Amino acid sequence: MRCVIVSVVGYHNAGKTTLVEKLIPELQRRGLKVGYLKHDPKGHGTTDKPGRDTDRIFKVSHKVALLSPHGLTLWEKREEDPTKVIQEYFSDCEVVILEGWKSLQGVKKVVVGDLQVEGLRVEGVQDLRKVVEYILGAG
């Protein structure tokens, strides 16, 4: 199976994250390795609390990472192209779920709510089975 990229899109508080939160374990139960990449177009994501170590260093460095017993967090200054990030960091995944990027061309889209974008329209978690079939099928 080649890597399937699907973008879950919708207005703020439409239920995108809730759907993704249920979708990932369902895909994993089917034996798939799943990655997730969230869009932060307004730059609200932070490296650390303002003024703390990683925040201070990221202001002067191109790359900053935080390694802990539970994982690696990497911050890198780069252009906003999710397909390049997927190629670089998610090449071992069979499915990569994007949250956002409603204008991104060439990927399947799951549209939560009434956002006027082409794709599979769903109401939310109650349509989980339909979303899984869309991702894994020819849809």
Pairing label, strands 95-99, 34-38: parallel
> How far is the C-alpha of 19 from the C-alpha of 3, rounded, in Å?
20
List, for residues 21-43, the tens digit of each pLDDT value.
Answer: 999 999 999 999 999 999 988 87
Alpha-helical segments (H) within 30-81: 53-58
Average the pLDDT over 107-120 and give the result: 96
pTM of the complete model: 0.88
Average the pLDDT over 33-62 and give the result: 88
At the second CATH level, the architecture of 4-42+79-136 is 3-Layer(aba) Sandwich (3.40)
Pairing label, strands 34-38, 63-68: unpaired
Q: How many C-alpha atoms does 67 have within 13 Å on its Cβ side? A: 0
Q: What percent of the chain has pLDDT over 70?
A: 98
Instruction: Express the helix, strand and coil content of the chain in percent, nearest 5 each.
Output: 30, 25, 45
Average the pLDDT over 81-110 and give the result: 94
The whole-number pLDDT of residue 14 equals 95
Predicted confidence (pLDDT) at residue 65 exceeds the cutoff of 70: yes
Q: How many C-alpha atoms does 86 have within 13 Å on its Cβ side? A: 22
